[in-house]
Structure 1
Amino acid sequence: MPWSRSVLRFPPRRQILLASRPFRYRHGRFWIEGVPWEGVVESLGTPVLIYSRERLLSNIASLEKTAKALPIPVRIHAALKACTLPGIATILREAGLGVEVMSEFEYQLSRKAGFTPGQMVVNAPAKARAFLDRAVAEKVALLNVESEEELEVIDALGRRIGAPVRIGVRVNPPLGREPPRGFGGRGSKFGFDIDSGDARRAVKRAASLPGVELMAIHCHAWTRQYAPRRYLAGVRPVLRFLAEVEREIDRRIPWIDLGGGFGSRNLLEASGRRIADFLGPLGEEIRGLGGHRELLLEPGRYLLNDAAVCIGQVLTRKRNARRHWVLTDAGSHILPLRDNVEYYAAPAQLNRGSQRFCIGDALCIPSGVLPGSFALGEIRSGDSLVIFNCGAYTFSLAQHFGGLAPAVALVEGDTWRLLFRRRSPDEWLRWIEDQRP
């Protein structure tokens, strides 16, 4: 049996990860598009993040195709927080997407990548005053408000410049205190709860202020969602609230900003679902509200997560009690082990047989086990591992704890280029020395 076909003995989720283009095995050797794994590793070392341009554009196209089939207009603003690499941001812009930012750093990065303020949605439970001043002065497409104090500040800024600021009000549906895969929950730091009456008061206040133009109701209720019914169950209370509050203020709020929260495309499709299973029913329910409506989406994980892998080197093996461990240099300082990670690992070079093991890192913290670990055949110290689903919330959350941010490469067909150069310890220490007063 060819090594690439032997992958099919593993569960379908891993089958999708290993068998689908542009990540695939050819004669037991891992390839990213037309580049073998060692073609990058020999130049950049490990650990290294490798993005596939083909996969990223495919993810964008799948979302845009679904959006165009809906009965309402859809604006897609990629969540920059998922990956703060300028090279990736440029690809998102060139593909025709807008961008969602949460800080002045992300705002400036987006500008350098070529986005205009009119392509930007600004979110954050709190925003520095200098950032608010800039966002208002440069006229971002939408500024989502999450506190009463912030609403009054933005109103004052709008009156000062003589032009109302386009805002949305973030609301939280009644999902319970700690909903499964929910974002926030009752009484969280985000937005205004619907069931407490705070959301209604905030919307009415916004509608009465001359310095703002109430354009949107914003809700980001889920993270890593794979169940369309659960997703829609969280959205419906928001749509009911919107219809009720519009009657009370006697004004239509034309935009419905539902953020992101969709799972990784490869895992979604491995489960037999498509993004259309979420957006198709959603579009019909929004159309049922009547009048001109536009849907805003802010995807991050769906676009980026399965578009990159991390390749790390096995530093040592060990057995402790009943666990077989493989310890790698691809540590939790670059692959955060949060509750919502979706990493899966396999050797970069497949061998005969099968073996399961626990993957850990080399850091002196109880960072847990990388989930979904398996190998085909013997794995030795010095071998390389491919870790899938590393495109979102890895580089942007990388820490200088026990190591430095990894090099990042982008594969384009049969070539690759550097997106971020890993600094050596000497370079980093010299930089620190230079900061002394």
Structure 2
Amino acid sequence: MRAHEAGWAHAEGPKGPSWLRLPADTNELVSHLWSTTATKVDGVLEVGGVALPDLVAEHGSPAYVLDEADFRARAGAFRDAFAAYDVFYAGKAFLSTTTARWVAEEGLCLDVCSGGELTVAERAGFDMSRVGFHGNNKTVAELRRAVRLGVGRVIVDSFGEIERLAAVVTELGATARVMIRVTAGVEAHTHEYIATAHEDQKFGFSITSGDAFAAVRQVQDAPGLELLGLHSHIGSQIFDSSGFEVAARRVLALHARVSEELGVTLPEMDLGGGFGIAYTTQDDPSDPAQLATEMSKIVEHECRALGIPEPHLSIEPGRAIVGPAMCTVYEVGTVKPVALDGGAVRTYVSVDGGMSDNIRTALYDADYSCTLASRSSEAPPVLARVVGKHCEAGDIVVKDEFLPADVAPGDLLAVPGTGAYCRSMASNYNHALRPPVIAVRDGATRVVVRRETEDDLLATDVGDEQ
């Protein structure tokens, strides 16, 4: 590491050199990375009025800490900014019966993509007419259940699924409201695995190939299927609205073609979403009001150019609601300085979790930040890598961060922005126990998802019963 006169430092990362901003004070928070109630008092991190050392003393570590007030505020901000839209919360990002009820109370719809997520919505008493059911390989059993529950829209993803759904509604003597997921051929500026609108991937019907128009015909001809409109999703962790502009132009052109050639005016259109959040100081997400203005202008302009009425719109903010509302707190174990080429040193800080509670760094090469959460420190900053306890070299939680030089076993570290795709993708790798989700608000804690136990871990192991 070498210091730079503008307050930056050079770090040799796993993919080559990068620049990191030197912290002005490791005792302070970079506020836009954290939920709105997060603050430090004498170096101790508090969220929702709860000091994290107190939370760990009561609930153990690691633990996901969910800021209820922040979650509700972000949900409300999207609801208000997109007042003329239906706003769908992404159940896949994080879903529990508690958060499903918060979503309902804040006036949002709910997007699910599996039978399990549908079960959570049902258990929470969610209004099924406000549920959308995604997925590229829904089983007949899942489709049957969705139809029986009266799910508000099934987003179909293949010709085979249209056939299966048509057979299900015939069997049940029911109807199903359908949206067709289309592939607009847009290269979103995001990681390859979370870009979903280019041609060579598993989701949707290609507009370019003609499959999307053929799917419209197939749904129109199927008894019991009510076609609501077209659905487009270009990916997630998106900061640039240019991708939405290109996608909207292509999807609305198809929308207009359906009207002209089939005499069908589709009442709705889903623009997708997947809006980005700030994981590090280099991320600069847009606020909901700005996004609403930009996206509404795009649709208005395109509809005017095509001479068609604007359909009723819906969006899916993705991680942007729950992502910033949660952090993860860990306890430090081993601290190991490691010499690098050129005489630099990186301090490896091992914590009591890792890729079993946050696979995103290993899976997507995702970047995270962290802070010392249990005390203040006057020690100078050192370049650190926060790693987990699993038997994998890629078990990295935070690739590069400046932490106080005196970080030691027993300290608590907190990682912001872990609300989306961390608990929902958590595993029992190395037979680890998945952490709890603890909601905090007004100085009180509430267990939303309890910590797994060893009995849970062995509940499905029937070896001793045979």
Q: TM-score, normalised by structure 1?
A: 0.90
Structure 2: state its 5+ residue gaps.
1-21, 341-345
Aligned to 2:8: none
Distance in 2 separating the partners of 1:213 and 1:435: 51
Closer/same/farther in 2, CA of residues 435 and 394 from structure 1, 3 Å limit: farther
SS of corresponding position for 1:135: helix
Cα distance, 1:139–1:424 mapped onto 2, change above 3 Å: closer
The reply to whether residue 301 of structure 1 matches residue 312 of structure 2 is no
Cα–Cα, structure 1 residues 105 and 346, in superposed 2: closer, same or farther, change >3 Å?
same
Distance (Å, rounded) in 1 between the aligned partners of 2:405 and 2:39: 18
Query: Residue in 1 aligned with 2:388?
Result: 361
2:62 to 47, 58, 68: 47
Note if 1:414 corresponds to 2:427: no
1:349-389: CA deviations, max 9, x gaps? Answer: 23123222111111111225423522245211221100111
User: More helix per residue: 1 or 2?
Assistant: 1
Matched, 1:326 2:326: no
Q: Which residue of 2 is the match for residue 374 of structure 1? A: 402
Q: Which amino acid in 2 is paired with 1:23?
A: A
In the other structure, the counterpart of 1:185 is 198
Quick check: 1:287–1:293 contact (8 Å CA) kept in 2?
no
- What secondary structure sits across from 1:305 in the alignment? coil
Q: Does 1:425 align with 2:454?
A: yes
Q: Residues 84 and 395 of structure 1 are in contact (CA less than 8 Å); yes or no, is this contact kept in structure 2?
A: no
One of 21, 24, 33 as aligned partner of 1:17: 33
The answer to whether residue 228 in structure 2 is matched with residue 215 in structure 1 is: yes
Query: Distance between the aligned counterparts of 1:340 and 1:245, measured in 2?
Result: 41
Report which stretch shifted further, 150-159 or 359-368: 150-159
Report which stretch shifted further, 158-167 or 326-335.
Answer: 158-167
Contact 1:7 1:15 in 2 (8 A): no
Q: Could you tell me how far 1:216 is from its partner in structure 2?
A: 1.7
For each residue in 1:34-65, what CA deviation from the matched residue of structure 2 results, as whole angstroms up to 9, or x when unmatched? 11111210011111111000110111121112
Whichever residue aligns with residue 226 of structure 1, its letter is F
Distance 2:401 2:268 in 1: 43
Q: Which moved more, 1:120-129 or 1:289-298?
A: 289-298
Q: Are the counterparts in 1 of residues 88 and 316 from structure 2 also a CA contact under 8 Å?
A: yes
Q: Residue 270 of structure 1: CA displacement?
A: 6.4
Letter in 1 for 2:202: K
Alpha-carbon distance change, 436 to 82 in structure 1, aligned in 2, over 3 angstroms: farther
Provide the alpha-carbon RMSD of the alignment.
Answer: 2.6
Deviations along 1:317-362, whole A, 9 cap, x unmatched? 1122322211111211111123274521111023123222111111
Return the alpha-carbon distance in structure 2 between the equivalents of residues 186 and 250 of structure 1: 28
Q: Any residues of structure 2 matched to 1:33-432 within 5 Å, and which?
A: 33-68=48-83, 73-175=84-186, 180-181=190-191, 182-183=195-196, 185-264=198-277, 271=284, 273-288=286-301, 289=303, 290-291=308-309, 293-322=311-340, 323-336=346-359, 337=361, 338-339=363-364, 341-348=366-373, 349-352=375-378, 353-369=380-396, 370-402=398-430, 403-426=432-455, 428-429=457-458, 432=461
Structure 1: where are the runs of 5+ without partners? 1-5
C-alpha separation between the residues in 2 aligned to 1:91 and 1:435? 42
Q: What is the count of residue pairs matched by the alignment?
A: 425
Counterpart secondary structure, 1:379: coil
